[in-house]
Amino acid sequence: MSTAATMPAHADPHHVGGMRAATEHEGPAPKRIVTGYGFWIFLLSDIVMFSCFFASYAVLVNETAGGPSGAQLFDLRSVAIETACLLLSSFTCGLATISADIRRQARFQAAMATTCVLGLAFLALEGREFADFVARGAGPTRSAFLSAFFTLVGCHGLHVSAGILWLLTMMAQVYAKGFRADIQRRLLCFALFWHALDIIWVAVFSVVYLLGSGV
């Protein structure tokens, strides 16, 4: 077979990109791929932001300015329950994704509602912890360590709150509009977001609470 006849005139193997490689690019990716990919990039940028708060926490963790340290404040039992709530909520979020894939409205709504309740329970426990610290005179203005603590953990809490707002919006939207393709894409992004918050919480739990109460 004569390749010269089928190859375009300029497909010179010595010219950069001239030969058709085995991995020929097939053109623009489908929407679902593009949306998911873009959201991954956003999550990475969000993780970079968290890494700044982690870094500042690491720098300031010993700057207690005569105030209480982490070991004196943290109540690991409460944090363990928080962690359990969040990890379970990731599981129910996964159930919601599966229900959306097979388009079961009732199951989807139930799974999302459970996710929401678990998320709210997490926030309630975190709120109680924060209120308790402030009541004991260990608010964020007490020392640089506490500033960094409240910012890092609070930023995660804010993300969970935003996630719950998003979750409720998605429940309403699926109820009103059904499992349309664009709504499915949004559900994909929401699920990615919710699971990413879990990953960040694992880091918060390890770096802040476990390392902090060991000393």
Q: Which one among 18, 103, 105, 127 touches other proteins, defined by CB under 8 A?
A: 18
- The residue range among 33-41, 87-95, 188-196, 199-207 that interacts with other proteins, by the rule CB under 8 A, is 33-41
**Cα 34–35–41 angle (5° rounding)?**
90
Total residues contacting other proteins by CB under 8 A comes to 55
Dihedral pair phi/psi, residue 15, rounded to 5°: -90, 135
Q: Which one among 144, 160, 200, 208 touches other proteins, defined by CB under 8 A?
A: 144
122: contact with other proteins by CB under 8 A: no
Residue numbers 168-187 binding other proteins by CB under 8 A: 169, 173, 176-177, 182, 186
Dihedral pair phi/psi, residue 53, rounded to 5°: -70, -35
38: contact with other proteins by CB under 8 A: yes
Dihedral pair phi/psi, residue 140, rounded to 5°: -65, -20
Q: Give 146-213 as a 3 state SS string.
A: HHHHHHHHHHHHHHHHHHHHHHHHHHHHHHHHCCCHHHHHHHHHHHHHHHHHHHHHHHHHHHHHHHHH
111: contact with other proteins by CB under 8 A: no
Q: How far is CA 35 from the centre of its chain?
A: 16
Residues that bind other proteins (CB under 8 A): 8-11, 15-18, 20-21, 23-29, 33-35, 37-38, 41-42, 44-46, 48-49, 52-53, 55-56, 59-60, 63-65, 140-145, 147-148, 150-151, 165, 169, 173, 176-177, 182, 186
